[in-house]
Structure 1
């Protein structure tokens, strides 16, 4: 038996919110992978500080991925969950190769700001549908990514 979803948000709006959350999920997961990659491969005089910092960030991102995916499912939408789906949905530019710690930080600033822009688009759709649950989750993600971008950017300033 399939029980219809009746949470006060029509199917069309739930699908549109789910699309925005799916893009946010893809960006978040791609940023998680990028941050984890940098955690493993950072080197230089600030290795220990950055290694620990990047670990704090990817652990937080791993929890966020789960929260976003679960919200998508609560809306009755299938959550993307493969590399192929994420690569199609994500706006984050992937990075590979041997790059400096400073370049890693700069790329992470760009990626966090990309997530912020994606989240703002999704927030607008959630607010239009009076989906306070999605809007609250997205708002919380905005705070994290804006603060993280600022803190990382501070590493690049003299």
Structure 2
């Protein structure tokens, strides 16, 4: 079984998780204002979660015969997550919104991964994508609540 679509989506996830981690790190460094003391360490937690998912998905890709992208150049070329140089002109809410946008994109990507791995008969990869998507959705809810937005995916 070749699982080509699954491998492609796993590699897309590797690039996007790497870029999402860089985005969260940027938010961690460039936030100022009310909520800083609570949100600054929260960004550390989010980076740890992203890096855990990155490791799990990368290792799954290797397990099924793929080769994960592994350079900053590859991450930047393949990823669909936008990351621009930061400045001090954004509010914490605007920075959190950037993270929410990235997480919603990742949740949609992981849904594609679930569908592809199901179609290609790879229940293990489907389970990994499903678990990762659930974690993202919970974080989206929490971050949107922080910035005063009602939940709703």
What TM-score do the two structures reach when normalised by structure 1?
0.88
Is residue 2:139 matched to residue 1:153? Answer: no
1:129 Cα offset (Å): 1.2
The runs of 4+ residues in structure 1 deviating greater than 4 Å are none
User: Could you list the runs of 5+ residues in structure 2 that have no partner in the other structure?
Assistant: none
Residues in 1 aligned to 2:137 and 2:15: alpha-carbon distance in whole angstroms: 18
Supply the distance in 2 between the matched residues of 1:87 and 1:117 (Cα, whole angstroms): 19
Once residues 102 and 25 of structure 2 are traced to their aligned partners in structure 1, the CA distance between those partners, rounded to angstroms, is: 13
1:72-130 deviation per Cα after TM superposition (whole angstroms, max 9, x unaligned): 00011111111121122212111332222111111111010000111111111100011
Mapping 1:1-16, distance limit 5 Å? 10-11=1-2, 13=3, 15-16=4-5
Paired residues in the alignment total 147
Between the aligned partners of 2:53 and 2:111, the Cα distance in structure 1 is 16
**Would you say 1:37 and 2:26 are equivalent positions?**
yes
Matched position secondary structure for 1:36: helix
- RMSD value, Cα: 1.2
**Counterpart residue number, 2:117:** 126
Structure showing greater Rg: 1
| CA deviation after TM superposition for structure 1 residue 26, in Å | 1.3
Q: Can you give the 5+ residue segments of structure 1 that lack an aligned partner in the other structure?
A: 1-9
